[in-house]
Protein backbone atom coordinates (compact mmCIF):
# COMPACT_ATOMS: atom_id res chain seq x y z
CA UNK A 1 0.00 0.00 0.00
CA UNK A 2 1.19 3.50 -0.80
CA UNK A 3 -0.61 5.01 2.22
CA UNK A 4 -1.21 8.75 1.86
CA UNK A 5 0.25 10.36 -1.23
CA UNK A 6 0.59 14.11 -1.63
CA UNK A 7 1.62 16.07 -4.69
CA UNK A 8 3.46 18.22 -5.39
CA UNK A 9 6.20 18.02 -2.77
CA UNK A 10 7.42 21.53 -3.54
CA UNK A 11 5.73 24.50 -5.18
CA UNK A 12 6.52 28.18 -5.62
CA UNK A 13 3.65 30.52 -6.43
CA UNK A 14 3.26 34.19 -7.05
CA UNK A 15 0.75 36.19 -5.05
CA UNK A 16 -2.70 35.84 -6.56
CA UNK A 17 -2.09 32.54 -8.32
CA UNK A 18 -4.27 29.55 -7.60
CA UNK A 19 -3.27 25.93 -7.29
CA UNK A 20 -4.45 22.57 -6.02
CA UNK A 21 -2.60 20.27 -3.65
CA UNK A 22 -3.52 16.68 -4.33
CA UNK A 23 -4.01 14.04 -1.67
CA UNK A 24 -4.90 10.40 -2.19
CA UNK A 25 -5.08 7.46 0.21
CA UNK A 26 -5.49 3.80 -0.58
CA UNK A 27 -6.44 2.57 2.90
CA UNK A 28 -10.21 3.10 2.53
CA UNK A 29 -10.11 5.64 5.36
CA UNK A 30 -13.28 7.55 6.14
CA UNK A 31 -11.55 10.57 7.63
CA UNK A 32 -9.25 12.87 5.71
CA UNK A 33 -7.86 16.24 6.64
CA UNK A 34 -5.49 19.02 5.69
CA UNK A 35 -3.11 20.70 8.10
CA UNK A 36 -0.58 23.43 7.78
CA UNK A 37 2.60 23.56 9.84
CA UNK A 38 4.41 26.79 10.50
CA UNK A 39 7.60 27.35 12.55
CA UNK A 40 6.97 27.61 16.29
CA UNK A 41 3.35 26.60 15.95
CA UNK A 42 1.46 23.37 16.22
CA UNK A 43 -0.21 21.79 13.24
CA UNK A 44 -3.39 23.69 12.43
CA UNK A 45 -6.41 22.06 10.84
CA UNK A 46 -7.60 23.69 7.63
CA UNK A 47 -10.45 21.44 6.48
CA UNK A 48 -11.53 17.91 7.11
CA UNK A 49 -13.92 15.30 5.76
CA UNK A 50 -15.61 12.35 7.45
CA UNK A 51 -16.66 10.71 4.21
CA UNK A 52 -17.31 11.22 0.52
CA UNK A 53 -19.50 14.27 -0.05
CA UNK A 54 -18.95 15.63 3.48
CA UNK A 55 -16.49 18.39 4.33
CA UNK A 56 -16.16 20.83 7.19
CA UNK A 57 -13.97 23.72 8.24
CA UNK A 58 -11.15 23.45 10.69
CA UNK A 59 -9.32 26.15 12.59
CA UNK A 60 -7.88 28.10 9.62
CA UNK A 61 -10.11 27.58 6.55
CA UNK A 62 -9.95 31.04 4.98
CA UNK A 63 -8.37 31.09 1.54
CA UNK A 64 -8.75 27.34 1.02
CA UNK A 65 -11.40 25.11 -0.51
CA UNK A 66 -11.79 21.35 -0.43
CA UNK A 67 -14.04 18.71 -1.94
CA UNK A 68 -14.44 14.98 -1.35
CA UNK A 69 -16.00 13.34 -4.36
CA UNK A 70 -14.47 9.94 -3.63
CA UNK A 71 -13.24 8.14 -0.53
CA UNK A 72 -9.70 8.15 -1.88
CA UNK A 73 -9.13 11.78 -2.86
CA UNK A 74 -9.20 15.03 -0.91
CA UNK A 75 -7.69 17.94 -2.87
CA UNK A 76 -6.95 21.30 -1.28
CA UNK A 77 -7.38 24.39 -3.43
CA UNK A 78 -5.73 27.72 -2.81
CA UNK A 79 -7.97 30.27 -4.42
CA UNK A 80 -5.67 33.30 -4.57
CA UNK A 81 -2.32 32.64 -2.98
CA UNK A 82 -0.94 35.07 -0.40
CA UNK A 83 2.50 35.16 1.26
CA UNK A 84 0.78 34.24 4.56
CA UNK A 85 0.00 30.85 3.00
CA UNK A 86 3.69 29.99 2.76
CA UNK A 87 3.84 26.83 4.83
CA UNK A 88 4.23 23.08 4.87
CA UNK A 89 0.95 21.36 4.15
CA UNK A 90 0.13 17.86 5.35
CA UNK A 91 -2.71 15.66 4.32
CA UNK A 92 -3.74 13.06 6.89
CA UNK A 93 -6.26 10.27 7.04
CA UNK A 94 -7.70 7.99 9.66
CA UNK A 95 -9.65 4.77 9.65
CA UNK A 96 -11.97 6.01 12.32
CA UNK A 97 -13.88 9.24 12.41
CA UNK A 98 -13.67 9.09 16.19
CA UNK A 99 -10.20 10.56 16.59
CA UNK A 100 -10.73 11.16 20.27
CA UNK A 101 -10.55 7.41 20.73
CA UNK A 102 -7.68 6.37 18.52
CA UNK A 103 -5.87 9.55 17.61
CA UNK A 104 -4.01 7.77 14.88
CA UNK A 105 -3.59 9.87 11.81
CA UNK A 106 -1.58 8.71 8.80
CA UNK A 107 0.20 11.58 7.14
CA UNK A 108 1.47 12.22 3.68
CA UNK A 109 5.05 13.39 3.26
CA UNK A 110 4.06 17.03 3.08
CA UNK A 111 3.99 19.75 0.46
CA UNK A 112 6.26 22.76 0.88
CA UNK A 113 4.61 25.84 -0.56
CA UNK A 114 6.25 29.23 -0.97
CA UNK A 115 4.21 32.23 -2.04
CA UNK A 116 6.24 35.19 -3.28
CA UNK B 1 -2.86 30.91 27.20
CA UNK B 2 -2.35 28.50 24.34
CA UNK B 3 -4.51 25.42 24.50
CA UNK B 4 -1.54 23.08 24.26
CA UNK B 5 1.91 24.20 25.40
CA UNK B 6 5.24 22.46 25.13
CA UNK B 7 8.79 23.50 25.99
CA UNK B 8 10.34 23.87 22.53
CA UNK B 9 13.78 22.79 23.74
CA UNK B 10 16.05 21.65 22.32
CA UNK B 11 16.81 19.10 24.99
CA UNK B 12 20.40 17.96 24.49
CA UNK B 13 20.81 14.59 26.17
CA UNK B 14 23.69 12.07 26.14
CA UNK B 15 22.99 8.65 24.74
CA UNK B 16 21.77 6.25 27.41
CA UNK B 17 20.29 8.94 29.63
CA UNK B 18 16.68 9.28 30.69
CA UNK B 19 14.78 12.33 29.53
CA UNK B 20 11.30 13.58 30.30
CA UNK B 21 9.21 16.43 29.05
CA UNK B 22 5.73 17.68 29.69
CA UNK B 23 2.85 19.12 27.78
CA UNK B 24 0.21 21.28 29.44
CA UNK B 25 -3.27 21.60 28.08
CA UNK B 26 -6.50 23.41 28.80
CA UNK B 27 -10.12 22.69 28.13
CA UNK B 28 -10.22 19.02 27.43
CA UNK B 29 -12.36 16.39 29.05
CA UNK B 30 -11.00 13.71 26.76
CA UNK B 31 -10.07 10.31 28.11
CA UNK B 32 -7.11 9.97 25.78
CA UNK B 33 -4.24 12.08 24.55
CA UNK B 34 -1.42 11.39 22.14
CA UNK B 35 2.30 11.78 21.52
CA UNK B 36 3.52 11.97 17.95
CA UNK B 37 7.10 11.92 16.73
CA UNK B 38 8.30 14.05 13.84
CA UNK B 39 11.72 13.65 12.29
CA UNK B 40 13.33 16.64 10.61
CA UNK B 41 11.47 17.56 7.42
CA UNK B 42 9.27 14.48 7.68
CA UNK B 43 5.65 13.83 8.51
CA UNK B 44 4.43 13.21 12.08
CA UNK B 45 3.87 9.63 13.18
CA UNK B 46 1.94 8.37 16.17
CA UNK B 47 4.27 7.35 18.99
CA UNK B 48 1.78 6.41 21.66
CA UNK B 49 -1.56 7.13 23.20
CA UNK B 50 -1.99 8.32 26.78
CA UNK B 51 -4.88 7.17 28.89
CA UNK B 52 -5.88 7.93 32.45
CA UNK B 53 -3.91 4.91 33.61
CA UNK B 54 -0.84 5.94 31.65
CA UNK B 55 0.85 3.90 28.96
CA UNK B 56 4.20 2.17 28.60
CA UNK B 57 5.79 0.86 25.43
CA UNK B 58 9.32 -0.39 25.80
CA UNK B 59 11.56 2.52 26.73
CA UNK B 60 8.71 5.02 26.47
CA UNK B 61 6.27 5.87 29.24
CA UNK B 62 3.48 8.39 28.99
CA UNK B 63 1.47 9.68 31.93
CA UNK B 64 -1.60 11.85 32.28
CA UNK B 65 -2.14 14.19 35.22
CA UNK B 66 -5.67 15.38 34.77
CA UNK B 67 -5.77 17.47 37.97
CA UNK B 68 -2.80 19.57 36.84
CA UNK B 69 -3.70 19.25 33.17
CA UNK B 70 -0.49 17.93 31.75
CA UNK B 71 0.80 14.84 30.05
CA UNK B 72 4.37 13.66 30.19
CA UNK B 73 6.68 11.54 28.08
CA UNK B 74 9.60 9.68 29.61
CA UNK B 75 12.28 8.07 27.46
CA UNK B 76 14.68 5.69 29.16
CA UNK B 77 18.05 4.53 27.84
CA UNK B 78 17.85 7.06 25.04
CA UNK B 79 19.19 6.14 21.60
CA UNK B 80 20.61 8.32 18.86
CA UNK B 81 17.55 7.39 16.81
CA UNK B 82 15.29 9.02 19.40
CA UNK B 83 16.44 12.43 18.15
CA UNK B 84 13.28 14.05 16.82
CA UNK B 85 10.59 16.53 17.70
CA UNK B 86 7.85 15.18 19.95
CA UNK B 87 4.38 16.59 19.44
CA UNK B 88 1.69 16.57 22.08
CA UNK B 89 -1.86 16.17 20.77
CA UNK B 90 -5.11 16.86 22.60
CA UNK B 91 -8.63 16.21 21.32
CA UNK B 92 -10.88 19.24 20.96
CA UNK B 93 -13.70 19.31 23.47
CA UNK B 94 -17.09 18.44 22.03
CA UNK B 95 -15.62 17.18 18.78
CA UNK B 96 -14.97 13.66 17.56
CA UNK B 97 -12.94 14.83 14.63
CA UNK B 98 -10.53 17.54 15.68
CA UNK B 99 -7.21 17.55 17.47
CA UNK B 100 -5.10 20.38 18.88
CA UNK B 101 -1.36 20.09 18.36
CA UNK B 102 1.46 21.42 20.46
CA UNK B 103 4.36 23.07 18.67
CA UNK B 104 6.66 20.25 19.76
CA UNK B 105 9.70 19.61 21.91
CA UNK B 106 12.94 19.03 20.06
CA UNK B 107 15.14 16.27 21.43
CA UNK B 108 18.77 15.78 20.42
CA UNK B 109 20.57 12.67 21.63
CA UNK B 110 24.34 13.08 21.62
CA UNK B 111 26.83 10.20 21.31
B94 vs A8, residue with greater confidence: A8
Task: Indicate whether A30 pLDDT > 70.
Answer: yes
Rounded to the nearest angstrom, the minimum Cα separation between A88 and chain B is 9
Compare CB distances from B34 to A31, A56, A103 and report the shortest one's residue.
Answer: A103
Angstrom CA distances, B46 to A55, A67, A99, B88, B96, stand at: 24, 26, 12, 10, 18
Task: Indicate whether B1 pLDDT > 70.
Answer: no
What average pLDDT does the segment B48-66 reach? 91
Compare CB distances from A104 to B43, B46, B96 and report the shortest one's residue.
Answer: B46
| Beta-bridge partner residues of B38 | B44, B85
> What letter would DSSP give residue A85?
G
Angstrom CA distances, B91 to A22, A62, A101, B46, B79, stand at: 26, 22, 9, 14, 30
Length of chain B: 111
* Angstrom distance (rounded) from CA B102 to CA B89: 6
E-strand stretches of chain A: 4-7, 10-13, 19-25, 31-37, 44-51, 54-57, 64-66, 76-78, 87-94, 106-107, 111-115
Q: B68-110 pLDDT, tens per residue?
A: 999 999 999 999 999 999 999 998 877 878 899 999 999 999 9
User: How many CB atoms sit inside 10 A of residue B39's CB?
Assistant: 12
Inter-residue contact B109 to B78 (CB < 8 Å)? yes
pLDDT for A70 equals 97
Residue A87 CA, chain-centre distance (Å), reads 12
Task: Indicate whether B53 pLDDT > 90.
Answer: no
Q: Across the interface, do B98 and A58 touch by the CB < 8 Å criterion?
A: yes
pLDDT for A101 equals 65
Angstrom CA distances, A39 to A55, B3, B44, stand at: 27, 17, 14
Task: Indicate whether A102 pLDDT > 80.
Answer: no
pLDDT for B95 equals 80
How many contacts, defined by CB atoms under 8 Å, are there between A and B? 64
For residue A76, which of A105, A49, A99, A94 has the smallest C-alpha distance? Answer: A49
What average pLDDT does the segment A22-47 reach? 95
What average pLDDT does the segment A36-54 reach? 94
Rounded to the nearest angstrom, the minimum Cα separation between B33 and chain A is 8
Inter-residue contact A16 to A5 (CB < 8 Å)? no
pLDDT for A32 equals 94
What average pLDDT does the segment A51-68 reach? 96
Band of residue B27 on the pLDDT scale cut at 50, 70, 90:
confident
Amino acid sequence: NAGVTQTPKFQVLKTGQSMTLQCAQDMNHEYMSWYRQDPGMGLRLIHYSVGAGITDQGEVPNGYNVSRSTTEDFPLRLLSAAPSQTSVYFCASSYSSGLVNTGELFFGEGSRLTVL
Amino acid sequence: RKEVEQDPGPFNVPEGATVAFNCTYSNSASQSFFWYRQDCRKEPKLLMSVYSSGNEDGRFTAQLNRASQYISLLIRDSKLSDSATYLCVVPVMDSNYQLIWGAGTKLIIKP
